[in-house]
A and B are shown apart, each in its own frame.
Chain A
Amino acid sequence: MDSGAPAAGEVSGAVLPAAPSERAASDLALRLRAGSEYVAIPALALAIAAFLFSLFLLAIGKSPIDFVDNIWRGGFGSGFSFQNTLQRSAPLILTALAVAIPARIGLIMIGGEGALVLGGFASAAIATPMVGVVAPWLTLIVMASAGVAVGALWIGLAGFLRYARGVNETISSLLLTYIGVAIMNFFVEGSLRDLSNPNKPSTRPIGEAYMVGKIPGTDVHWGFLAGLILAVGLQILMTRTTFGFAARVTGGNMRAALAQGLPVGKLIVACAMIAGACAGLAGFYEVAAIQGRANASLAAGYGFTGILVSFLARHNPLAIVPVAILFGGLVAAGGLIQRRMGLPDATVLVLQGLIFVVLLTSETLYGRFAIFKTAASKDRT
């Protein structure tokens, strides 16, 4: 996994051309050497977090080896476990992308949860009059479009407020999440409520025939594949297109971008809308692949876990996939750890917290080890 793309703020890749002869000879070696820093440092951080967590386990009298064994068994060790992990990582990939894309343009958007909830709600609401009237495939396309559009508008609103009114996007996107959940509850407990279900306010179920199934041969729903495709597509968009270049320039220095005549406002709103679309799509899959209706269970915290995943992946769309799978695996194995080791549910949260803190601390290590430096990057530092 080469996660060698630069973090938000750096404009160029690590391979600015040095002397022509050197470039020709060892371009790939240089890339590998510079890129390996982005693998080695997170790996070191994970090892340190694992060590600290082992101390924690020993302090409460549990065996770290049992712990690792159960994580392996519950999250990765068998076909069932790994599919369990992949299924749990599916919404995380999408919600992490919803954080990563705005981060590349220098915005910290943390409102994915709200876009997910409203996107899912919009999918379910628009499907209600179509069920039994319109063909399932068409209904699903309309549902997905509605989820994506509503999600895009929701986070796009935070982007627009940022650009047009200077409203802090972190605060506004977070607050919009609460408004989004409240809007869903308002309709789900009011005019769109399924009256045949007196005890859990939900919209009417869309029914088995209108659900997107599993990926054939697996127990994982299509949202996982959608996440993979989007991660690759967005990586290409952000690193290989003029749009991505302009966005990264804006993220690096907005005033310089303005001076260059880049359409900063449009870029900001566009990145925010892409983010919202990803989260809205996650909401669509929660409704169309899992719940079959919209209700309060849509607000399950995927949007917030996505923030962690994106930061750990250093906002690199490709790196988000393995990090999301790691998180999915930890959550999938969390149950086994409760059951086999008698540890409380919060144990996995302690581990996640440790990983997060250590990885963020490790950010300061980049550029400090001579071994990763190439002749080209030495010139720059």
Chain B
Amino acid sequence: MASVEFTRRTLLRSSAAGAAGLAFGFGGVRRALAGDLTIGIVYVGARDDFGWNQAHAVAMDALKQVAGVKVVEEENVPETDACAKTMESMINLDGAGLILATSFGYYTPFVVDVAKKYPKVEFRHAAPLWNKDKDPKNAGSYFGYLNQAHYIDGVAAGLCTKSNKIGFVAAKPIASVLSNINSVLLGARKTNPNATVQVIFTGDWSLPVREAEAANALVDAGCDVVTCHVDGPKVVIETAEKRGVKTCGHNASQAPLAPKGFITGAEYKWETIYKQYAAELGKGQPLPNMLAGGYEGDMVRNTPFGAGASDEAKKAALAAIEDLKAKKPIYVGPLKDNKTGKIVIDKAYDNLDPYLDQMDYLLEGVIGSIT
């Protein structure tokens, strides 16, 4: 056994050396400058989920083209110590120098603990959680403000609905989901003052059966545009398409799922962030600890318009995108919450204002309840 192991290792070591030599030979000066970098990326679900994970995976494809960068990927890693072990395994066995942890629940305690343990490896996590006072300097966060793209969904949907009812299938009543729902409402109200958003919470990130039931219930209630915030929007979009209503997507492009009714969808543009990371590492510069933005930072986008979008809607949406690039605020008070009628947005807030990250209400005009 021992001798077998020894020969296998020796063989691998020599072949690795050979491969490195080859790579250096071909790569030339650029590679030498960049220094070879292995990036490990951890996904919580499947890479082809038509949603959150796919958005990251598509962006990683762009990174793979960068010279000197090798990408190792692992999918379906739960938010338990499995994620810590996966990151350590990428560092110890694959030699990863940058870890991208893409699920919210990876951060505390796993990313923080592993970052402390491996101070020479850089860690970046896809949610605005890094705290410069408490957390290790080799960790950090990156995030896209998807609510801006959902606002554009709302702008287009407001002009595409005839019943003035937009349906929203939501996972959990947490801040980022609530902000997307409220943004759809504000977008729709911009082009259609009578629009309402009816929301159903399914209770968890991936419950395909309940998502289909919720989509059907919304159509039955008279909604003629349906959108969602769940991990994999496939079921919602397909169900709505089957029922003959229009749809707006979420996280990644669902345009192929709804050839008749697709309007547009809110998408992340992770490649802006990932390419920036690769470029900075290539130049030997330190990575920023916090990198977040919306349309103004080219970090979100909308799916190209589908057959469901009217010309009027396209025009309004494109104009609204220009407004967002110019940092025109979405949340302009006074706005009331839909339960108590209390004013929750008292003035105009910048689109990246941290106050909006703490959202725990639905605005007046949204039909539905958090509790």
Against A, the Cβ 8 Å flags (1 = close, 0 = not) of B214-254 are 00000000000000000000000000000000000000000
Chain A contacts of B79 at CB under 8 A?
297, 300
Chain B contacts of A335 at CB under 8 A?
74, 77, 85-86, 89-90
Against B, the Cβ 8 Å flags (1 = close, 0 = not) of A71-86 are 0011001101100100
Closest A residue by C-beta to B176: A199
- The answer on a CB contact under 8 Å between A88 and B82 is yes
- The answer on a CB contact under 8 Å between A331 and B104 is no
Q: How far is A290 from B82 in the complex, measured between Cα atoms in Å? A: 10
- The answer on a CB contact under 8 Å between B46 and A332 is no
Q: Does A216 contact B (CB under 8 A)?
A: no
- The answer on a CB contact under 8 Å between B109 and A200 is no
- The answer on a CB contact under 8 Å between B175 and A290 is no
Closest A residue by C-beta to B371: A190
Chain A contacts of B73 at CB under 8 A?
338-339
Contacts known (A84-B89, A292-B109, A339-B73); A297 close to B94, Cβ less than 8 A? no
Chain A contacts of B94 at CB under 8 A?
339
Contacts known (A69-B8, A185-B203, A296-B204); A332 close to B109, Cβ less than 8 A? no
Q: Does A344 contact B (CB under 8 A)?
A: yes
- The answer on a CB contact under 8 Å between B105 and A74 is no
Chain A contacts of B360 at CB under 8 A?
198
- The answer on a CB contact under 8 Å between B75 and A80 is no
Q: Does B127 contact A (CB under 8 A)?
A: yes
Chain A contacts of B5 at CB under 8 A?
77
Q: How far is A345 from B358 in the complex, measured between Cα atoms in Å? A: 35
- The answer on a CB contact under 8 Å between B90 and A300 is no
- The answer on a CB contact under 8 Å between A201 and B172 is yes
Q: Does A310 contact B (CB under 8 A)?
A: no
Chain A contacts of B357 at CB under 8 A?
198
Closest B residue by C-beta to A85: B85
- Which residues of A in the span 319-338 have a Cβ within 8 Å of any Cβ on B? 331-332, 335-336, 338
Contacts known (A199-B104, A338-B73, A339-B73); A300 close to B80, Cβ less than 8 A? yes
- Which residues of B in the span 131-180 have a Cβ within 8 Å of any Cβ on A? 172, 174-176
Q: Does B88 contact A (CB under 8 A)?
A: yes
Contacts known (A84-B88, A295-B105, A296-B204); A339 close to B72, Cβ less than 8 A? yes
- The answer on a CB contact under 8 Å between A297 and B105 is yes
- The answer on a CB contact under 8 Å between B74 and A338 is yes
Chain B contacts of A87 at CB under 8 A?
81, 85
| Cross-chain contact of A74 among B8, B76, B93, B203 (Cβ < 8 A) | B93
Against B, the Cβ 8 Å flags (1 = close, 0 = not) of A189-204 are 1000000001111000
Chain A contacts of B86 at CB under 8 A?
335
Q: Does B108 contact A (CB under 8 A)?
A: yes
Against B, the Cβ 8 Å flags (1 = close, 0 = not) of A332-358 are 100110110000110000000000000
- The answer on a CB contact under 8 Å between B174 and A339 is no
Against A, the Cβ 8 Å flags (1 = close, 0 = not) of B56-83 are 0000000000000000111111111110
Chain A contacts of B203 at CB under 8 A?
185
- The answer on a CB contact under 8 Å between B80 and A290 is yes
Q: How far is A347 from B88 in the complex, measured between Cα atoms in Å? A: 21
Contacts known (A291-B109, A335-B86, A339-B72); A198 close to B358, Cβ less than 8 A? yes
Contacts known (A81-B93, A335-B77, A345-B46); A198 close to B88, Cβ less than 8 A? no
Chain B contacts of A80 at CB under 8 A?
88-89, 92-93
Against B, the Cβ 8 Å flags (1 = close, 0 = not) of A242-276 are 00000000000000000000000000000000000
Q: How far is A185 from B174 in the complex, measured between Cα atoms in Å? A: 14
- The answer on a CB contact under 8 Å between B46 and A88 is no
Q: How far is A87 from B86 in the complex, measured between Cα atoms in Å? A: 12
Chain B contacts of A73 at CB under 8 A?
93
Least CB distance from A334 to B in Å reads 8
Chain A CB count within 10 A is highest, among B46, B74, B77, B203, for: B74
Q: How far is A60 from B203 in the complex, measured between Cα atoms in Å? A: 38
| Cross-chain contact of B75 among A199, A291, A345 (Cβ < 8 A) | A345
Chain A contacts of B109 at CB under 8 A?
205, 290-292
Least CB distance from A352 to B in Å reads 14
Closest B residue by C-beta to A205: B108
Closest A residue by C-beta to B87: A335
Closest A residue by C-beta to B107: A200
- The answer on a CB contact under 8 Å between B78 and A297 is yes
| Cross-chain contact of B174 among A81, A201, A205 (Cβ < 8 A) | A201
| Cross-chain contact of B85 among A88, A200, A295 (Cβ < 8 A) | A88
Q: How far is A73 from B176 in the complex, measured between Cα atoms in Å? A: 40
- The answer on a CB contact under 8 Å between A345 and B89 is no
- Which residues of B in the span 241-273 have a Cβ within 8 Å of any Cβ on A? none
- The answer on a CB contact under 8 Å between A291 and B80 is yes
Q: How far is A300 from B92 in the complex, measured between Cα atoms in Å? A: 25
Chain A contacts of B82 at CB under 8 A?
88, 300, 331
Closest B residue by C-beta to A208: B109
Closest A residue by C-beta to B370: A189
Chain A contacts of B85 at CB under 8 A?
84, 87-88, 332, 335
Least CB distance from B132 to A in Å reads 17
Closest A residue by C-beta to B75: A345
- The answer on a CB contact under 8 Å between B174 and A200 is yes
Chain A contacts of B74 at CB under 8 A?
335, 338-339, 345
Chain B contacts of A300 at CB under 8 A?
78-80, 82
- The answer on a CB contact under 8 Å between B75 and A336 is no
Contacts known (A300-B78, A338-B73); A332 close to B89, Cβ less than 8 A? yes
- The answer on a CB contact under 8 Å between A200 and B89 is no
Q: How far is A189 from B136 in the complex, measured between Cα atoms in Å? A: 29
Least CB distance from B128 to A in Å reads 9
Chain A contacts of B77 at CB under 8 A?
335
Chain A CB count within 10 A is highest, among B5, B86, B357, for: B86
Chain B contacts of A336 at CB under 8 A?
89, 93
Chain A CB count within 10 A is highest, among B5, B79, B358, for: B79
**B-to-A contact residues, CB < 8 Å:** 5, 8, 40, 46, 72-82, 85-86, 88-90, 92-94, 104-105, 108-109, 127, 172, 174-176, 203-204, 357-360
The 29 sampled A-B contact pairs (Cβ below 8 Å) are: A74-B93, A78-B92, A80-B89, A81-B93, A87-B81, A88-B82, A88-B85, A198-B359, A199-B104, A199-B127, A200-B104, A200-B174, A201-B172, A201-B174, A205-B109, A290-B80, A291-B80, A297-B78, A297-B105, A300-B78, A300-B80, A300-B82, A332-B89, A336-B93, A339-B74, A339-B90, A344-B75, A345-B46, A345-B76
5 further interface pairs, Cβ-Cβ under 8 Å (given A185-B203, A339-B74): A69-B8, A291-B80, A335-B86, A338-B73, A339-B72
Minimum-distance CB pairs A-B, first 4 = A198-B175, A345-B76, A339-B72, A297-B79
